A and B are shown apart, each in its own frame.
Chain A
């Protein structure tokens, strides 16, 4: 056992890990830097600096309208997915019934089912009702892919909270819904909030369902970006990408703050 072996292995471990992290983060840093480029072409490093691509984005209806639609769809999805997901999580963790495990599997399976398959199936379904191209289609479709995330997060929280306090509330005369509202939900509030935040993100970034189910009147921001990336690379995309990079950072910081606050209350 040579004394130098451990440090060498350690250094190798650090080197490969840092290389991997650079691989993960560099593309994002590069997009952010390039977005301040002054020239007509995407260059790295930029020859001059400007905010022209940001002005382009904020000055164009073709970008702002999809952004507003995306926000609307993401908000509706967030509400639907949190309500349905939390209800399912409570049923799955507190209920005792046959086939619970299979039902759990069914509820989380949209995370694994290829989105394009779901998109084709939903297209065939909604086309029959002449709904393709209506916002409601996106609300429903996005809820299917966002709710499993809420279920997973809230179920994990429910498993770690003590169900004895719920029994105590019930035995002291509180009804089922009163217990739910005053005991169960406050205990899992941080999880519900982070589930909702992630549901919002999933919907806001969702591309595949939007391109298959969206019509000309329901072009979400990712769908508009997709069209732009595929047919002409517009440097405005770098500015939008930079703004989109901020969203998960804000969301993660927010979720962390809620988690800390939740812990503070608990202790």
Chain B
């Protein structure tokens, strides 16, 4: 374990602290990068885009993921195993492959536009990617399993006899669900939402490929600043800012909700 710790300190913590150092120097000590970050409206727009995308993706994932996880707990173990595999295979498929698949489906000459034009439903191709819609579709696809698995792990631990007891005491199925099952599943809801939200905030591949010029997010802004403007100090301060936001939320929620729920069932 000491070896692992040494490795993590050298290749993980050290570079992150270097990043903090870079963000304050240019070459002397300065706060100019942070002033720029909070001063320019263009950078504020990236911040707003990121927030909008992340909140949207989290809510859609919850709306799609909750019924699916609920169904998984209500079927026989055999059927459940099949449903889990149908979530696991896309989950473990390369994010790049999946994003590329969405480009084929949603593109100007993509599948949906081809089909709709063929049927004569539209004259001109619909704009489905390089906009907010495309980014959100692609990101929900990647992040949805991160909602389903925490939900599933909490729901399978809910004692089914409690719901049965509520029913035998005269509760309708709807009442039994709303008053007994739903409240008991809330830890899974919060864990899933936090996980999806945090991953969405730091997500780079899908916004970079499916977003247009109007959808610059925090991560694509970092790339732009570093690769095109070659402004490493400013890129470092953007990174430190992003890291601070994600880190604060992570520590806050993992102490509030319990670490194992956030990470323990995140992937495996």
Chain A positions within 8 Å of B, measured between CB atoms, are 1, 5-6, 9, 13-14, 16-17, 20-21, 23-28, 30-31, 34, 41-44, 84-85, 87-88, 90-92, 95, 101, 103-118, 120-122, 124-125, 140-141, 143-144, 147-149, 152-153, 156, 194, 198, 201, 205, 207-208, 222, 225-226, 229-230, 233, 237-238, 241, 244-245, 248-249, 251-252
Give the CA-CA distance A110 to B202 in the complex, in Å.
Answer: 12
Which of A105, A140, A141, A251 touches B92 (beta carbons < 8 Å)? A251
| A28 and B93 contact, CB distance less than 8 A | yes
B42 interface residue, CB < 8 Å from A?
Answer: no
| A44 and B104 contact, CB distance less than 8 A | yes
B156 interface residue, CB < 8 Å from A?
Answer: no
Q: A137's closest neighbor in chain B, by CB?
A: B11
| A125 and B205 contact, CB distance less than 8 A | no
| B93 and A245 contact, CB distance less than 8 A | yes
Give the CA-CA distance A266 to B203 in the complex, in Å.
Answer: 41
Of B28-36, B119-127, B183-191, B236-244, the segment with at least 4 beta carbons within 8 Å of chain A is B236-244
| A124 and B89 contact, CB distance less than 8 A | no
> With a CB–CB cut-off of 8 A, which chain B residues contact A92?
1
Which of B114, B144, B199 touches A44 (beta carbons < 8 Å)? B114
| A144 and B4 contact, CB distance less than 8 A | no
| B8 and A107 contact, CB distance less than 8 A | yes
| B267 and A113 contact, CB distance less than 8 A | no
Give the CA-CA distance A152 to B19 in the complex, in Å.
Answer: 27
Instruction: Say whether, besides A24-B86, A27-B105, A43-B114, A120 and B222 are in contact (CB < 8 Å).
Output: yes
Q: What are the 9 A-B residue pairs with the smallest beta carbon separation, nearest first?
A: A114-B202, A91-B1, A121-B15, A248-B92, A27-B101, A88-B4, A205-B94, A84-B4, A121-B19
Instruction: Say whether, besides A114-B246, A120-B226, A229-B103, A21 and B68 are in contact (CB < 8 Å).
Output: yes
Instruction: Say whether, besides A88-B5, A121-B18, A144-B12, A13 and B70 are in contact (CB < 8 Å).
Output: yes
| B15 and A125 contact, CB distance less than 8 A | yes
> With a CB–CB cut-off of 8 A, which chain A residues contact B71?
13-14, 17
Which of B14, B96, B251 touches A225 (beta carbons < 8 Å)? B96
- How near does chain A come to B144, taking the closest CB pair, in angstroms? 7
Report B73-106 CB contacts with A as 1/0, cut-off 8 Å: 0100000000101111110111111111111110
> With a CB–CB cut-off of 8 A, which chain B residues contact A143?
7, 11
| A115 and B202 contact, CB distance less than 8 A | yes
Chain B: residues with Cβ within 8 Å of the partner, total of 84
> With a CB–CB cut-off of 8 A, which chain B residues contact A21?
68, 83, 86-87
| B3 and A248 contact, CB distance less than 8 A | no
Q: A124's closest neighbor in chain B, by CB?
A: B18
| B96 and A222 contact, CB distance less than 8 A | yes
Which of B12, B99, B172, B199 touches A118 (beta carbons < 8 Å)? B12
Q: B101's closest neighbor in chain A, by CB?
A: A27
Which of B13, B67, B219 touches A13 (beta carbons < 8 Å)? B67
| B19 and A124 contact, CB distance less than 8 A | yes
| A124 and B251 contact, CB distance less than 8 A | no
| A111 and B205 contact, CB distance less than 8 A | no
B150 interface residue, CB < 8 Å from A?
Answer: no
> With a CB–CB cut-off of 8 A, which chain B residues contact A84?
3-4, 7
Give the CA-CA distance A1 to B103 in the complex, in Å.
Answer: 47
| B89 and A248 contact, CB distance less than 8 A | yes
B212 interface residue, CB < 8 Å from A?
Answer: no
B26 interface residue, CB < 8 Å from A?
Answer: no
> With a CB–CB cut-off of 8 A, which chain B residues contact A111?
263, 266-267
> With a CB–CB cut-off of 8 A, which chain A residues contact B94?
205, 222, 241, 244
Task: List 30 contacting pairs A-B, 8 Å CB cutoff, sorted by A.
Answer: A21-B68, A21-B83, A24-B90, A24-B145, A27-B90, A28-B89, A30-B111, A42-B109, A43-B114, A84-B3, A90-B1, A106-B13, A109-B247, A113-B243, A113-B246, A114-B202, A116-B239, A120-B222, A125-B15, A143-B7, A144-B8, A152-B266, A205-B94, A205-B95, A222-B94, A222-B96, A229-B209, A241-B100, A244-B93, A245-B89
